[in-house]
Amino acid sequence: MVKIELALQHFGLPDNAGRLIEDCKDAGDEIGARPVGRGDIPQFEPADGRVCWHVLNAVTQQIFHGRPPVFCEWGSGLGLIAMLASLSGMRSTGIEIEEELFDLAREFSQQHGIPATFINGSIYPADNPAPLIDYKNIDLFFAYPWPNQIAQMTDLFSQVAASGSVLVFYHGGPNCRVLKL
């Protein structure tokens, strides 16, 4: 596995992506404002959609040479990044364990007319009675992990992804780490 240096550059944000980002931000703010213990989503922290739009497009241009990769987001939350991947031309899937977030992601996808697939379940194959997705068919994985999840997700990536696959760890703000098998 090798670390790839990514040069972030500005890519124009389509109007429909801007509307999606705002809708997801509003929903994320509402979820984050709930009192703990009243239907709260544990550790919910949405990614910055504008930054992630630039990251997705930079990865497509710099690593995949303009060919849209097949995309999978681990822990897709409201589905924002998976839908942005779809808007940038990728065939996109998001996997989310929290049912409420999964339902909201599907709802946003339908409302905005964005073709993305969402799966309710764990990203870890051992946690599921049947495979949710064949990770060998994924070119680009994306995750916004908590610090204690990074090693486990890196191990999962090395075990399930095909040679040449890429994993982007988003760390908030303009910070990300890109790994390639």
Q: Return the SS3 of 12.
A: coil
Q: Which residue from 69, 53, 64 is spatially nearest to 14, judged by alpha carbons?
A: 53
Q: How far apart are CA 76 and CA 60, in angstroms?
A: 19
What residue spans of 69-171 are helical by DSSP H?
80-87, 99-112, 150-160
Q: How far apart are CA 33 and CA 71, in angstroms?
A: 30
User: Are the C-beta atoms of 51 and 174 separated by less than 8 Å?
Assistant: yes
Instruction: Name the superfamily (CATH) of residues 2-34+44-180.
Output: Vaccinia Virus protein VP39 (3.40.50.150)
User: Are the C-beta atoms of 169 and 150 separated by less than 8 Å?
Assistant: yes
pTM across the whole model? 0.93
Q: How does pLDDT run across 24-69, given as a tens digit for each residue? A: 999 988 887 776 555 566 667 789 999 999 999 999 999 999 999 9
Q: Which residue from 96, 101, 81, 82 is spatially nearest to 40, judged by alpha carbons?
A: 101
Domain ranges of the chain: 2-34+44-180
Q: How does pLDDT run across 74-106, given as a tens digit for each residue? A: 999 999 999 999 999 999 999 999 999 999 999
DSSP tag of 177: E
